[in-house]
Amino acid sequence: MSVTEYTDENFFELTGQEINNYSLMRLFNILLDEDRETKFMNIFRSYILNDDVFTETALYNTYQVSNGEFWENISYNLYENPYVWWILPILNNTLNPFEDLEDGQIIKVLRADFVYTLVKDLERIAEQKT
């Protein structure tokens, strides 16, 4: 499968389903396959954070994972929003966010005031695509 171009369509136009403003799905473009008919999203796309995020300790706190917690639980507990869970694995350079977190594991968590800023920036980027 070879990508030939991006489409101007968004998730709602393709599926008729609204997605939450905070959804990870908003990060992925709709692509066309080489047959120019098949549309897909590359959910394996990687995001690399600017190195300043890791050295600027004012942006994040640390959090100790309790037994049985998942990214969504932590996101809800910290931000009162489970839909921004994807920020946490990106911030922690997690290759597979679907693997269990270890009890006692120390992770970096974006400070809550920066989550709002990040989401607003992503919304502006999404609006520019349309």
**What tens-digit pLDDT sequence spans the chain (130 residues)?**
555 566 667 777 777 777 776 676 666 777 777 887 777 776 666 666 677 777 788 888 999 999 889 999 999 999 998 888 988 998 898 878 888 899 999 999 999 988 888 877 777 766 665 5
Do 119 and 72 belong to one domain? yes
SS3 104: coil
Distance, in Å, from the CA atom of 5 to the CA atom of 3, rounded to the nearest integer, reads 6
The answer to whether residues 84 and 25 belong to one domain is no
Residues 26 and 57 grouped into a single domain:
no
Residues 60 and 19 both lie in one domain: no
Residue 46 domain-assigned (yes or no): no
Q: Are residues 35 and 70 in the same domain?
A: no
Amino acid at 108: K
Task: Select from 15, 12, 20 the least CA-distant residue to 85.
Answer: 20
Rg of the chain over CA atoms, in angstroms? 17
Could you tell me if 76 and 35 lie in one domain? no
* pLDDT at res. 120: 79
Is residue 119 domain-shared with residue 84, that is, in the same domain?
A: yes
Residue 130 lies in a domain: no
Task: Judge whether 115 and 75 are in contact, CB under 8 Å.
Answer: no
Q: Which domain holds residue 88?
A: 51-125
Do 61 and 102 have their domain in common? yes
> What pLDDT is recorded for position 5?
65
111 plus 59 within the same structural domain: yes
Both tokens of 53, joined, read 């995020």
Count how many domains the chain has: 2
